[in-house]
Chains A and B, each alone.
Chain A
Amino acid sequence: MSLTHYLVLAAILFAIGATTVLLRRNAIIVFMGVELMLNSTNLLLVTFSRMHGNLSGQVLAFFVMVVAAAEVVVGLAIIVTIFRTRRSASVDDVNLLKS
């Protein structure tokens, strides 16, 4: 088995995550789709790191995790705030972009 398999797996996960973002309406699930996409890139980074015999990829994946954690904190806070004011966690109810 070559390392390309990891890459393909990462691509599949990424595509599934993106599809989740597009199809689901629950903001939390959409968020989980985003997390899935981040994770798939992490897998990619780790695999590349192994291919190159260089730990920079892993370090980058580490930073991605930290940033993702920060992002999750803020994102969930936003979701909670929106839920408080609108009693809904559906992204479709927040179409305030269209006045």
Chain B
Amino acid sequence: MSHVLTVLPAAAGALTESGQTSTAEAVLFWVLGPIMVLAALGLLFARKAVHAALAVVLVMISLAFLYVAQGAEFLGVVQVVVYTGAVMMLFLFVLMLVGVDRSDSLVETIRGQRWIGVLAGLGLGVVLAGVVGRATYGTPAGIEEANAGSNPAAIAHLIFGQHVFAMEVVGALLVTAALGALVLTHRQRLTRKVGQRERAERRLREGGYPVSLPAPGVYARHNALDVPALDPEGRPIEASVPRVLRVRGQEADAREYAARIDRVLAGGWATGAGTFTSNRDVDDPHGRTAPTPGTPGTDATETDDEEGAR
């Protein structure tokens, strides 16, 4: 890591005798400062939460720059890693969970809250700025001396030396927080988990079809999903047509095929052979005008109902 830091300006955080920053730092500040303020205002005004989150990310990255510029290289890196890398990404995850496309309504529901909020915010800013501006500081000492060696090393000395207990406590806090998050988002299962086996058993219990449904009628001369299969007696099996087609009303008229089959069985091979070519021929008026009486239509509706119920 140290060789990374050496790339940074060696005199990061160096001050002039009168406590002024270097010109480079001033330029950096004046570039980043307005960006940060604008981005922060973006947080305030963005309609969409994702935009707000991105604005905050921008602020935080800028902050990281300012940290490094002020001789807090370690914090700058941590800022990027922890805040922009972890925390803000967590925010984005949660946003996706909650609904990314939700935009905040701008209509204020609490009477007077908007004015109170604006005034309080402005007042806070003015008062804080006033306090900071009016306070008198001694000549800034600069951070170079404290950063002798390197900033991470110096901070490490402090954290693991003087503040080691706080460090441990904070570690415990983090673990607790992680556990807390687990507990909070954990959903108690109130019923037993329903697996494949339970589902199959339930279907049987309810008198469902024990085996797989018959395949649709696939014949040598006509093969399409919308044609019902025929049982050994020549009656069409409604359930063999996929339910989606039946619901949409796209199933072919089973009675018609039954009639044709009857004709075929009666030796009428040649008649109407051409009409067996395609599914669309179902709509052919010729085909519909010759239903054979005795074809079970009622049975079909019953089967249909049962399927629909399933």
Contacts and interface: CB of A to CB of B under 8 A. Distances in A.
- Judge A-B direct contact (beta carbons within 8 Å): yes
B120 interface: yes
Interface string B63-103: 10011001110110011001100110011001101110010
Interface residues of B, number: 92
Given A16-B37, A50-B141, 5 more contacts: A3-B21, A28-B98, A50-B70, A67-B173, A70-B170
B214 interface: no
A51 to B, nearest CB: 4
B7 to A, nearest CB: 20
A19 B75 CA distance: 26
A22 B117 contact: yes
Interface string B120-132: 1110110011011
Interface in A1-51: 1-20, 22-26, 28-29, 31-33, 35-36, 39, 42-43, 46-47, 49-51
Interface string B133-159: 100011011110111000100110011
Contact of A11 (B25, B86, B128, B177): B128
Given A58-B74, A73-B90, A80-B94, A22 B43 contact: no
25 contacts: A3-B140, A5-B33, A6-B66, A9-B29, A14-B124, A16-B37, A20-B43, A25-B105, A26-B104, A31-B91, A39-B60, A42-B75, A49-B143, A50-B15, A50-B142, A52-B141, A53-B140, A55-B143, A55-B147, A66-B174, A68-B87, A76-B181, A79-B98, A80-B184, A84-B187
Contacts of A14: 124-125, 128
B37 A74 contact: no
Interface stretch (B107-115, B205-213, B233-241, B273-281): B107-115
The 6 A-B residue pairs whose C-beta atoms are closest, nearest first, are: A53-B141, A19-B121, A15-B125, A22-B117, A70-B177, A11-B128
B13 interface: yes
A27 to B, nearest CB: 9
B121 A12 contact: no
Contacts of A52: 141
A74 to B, nearest CB: 5
A23 B98 contact: no
B59 interface: yes
Contacts of B259: none
Interface stretch (B48-56, B242-250, B283-291): B48-56
A54 B36 CA distance: 26
Nearest to B51: A29
A73 B33 contact: no
B26 interface: yes
Given A8-B129, A50-B140, A26 B49 contact: yes
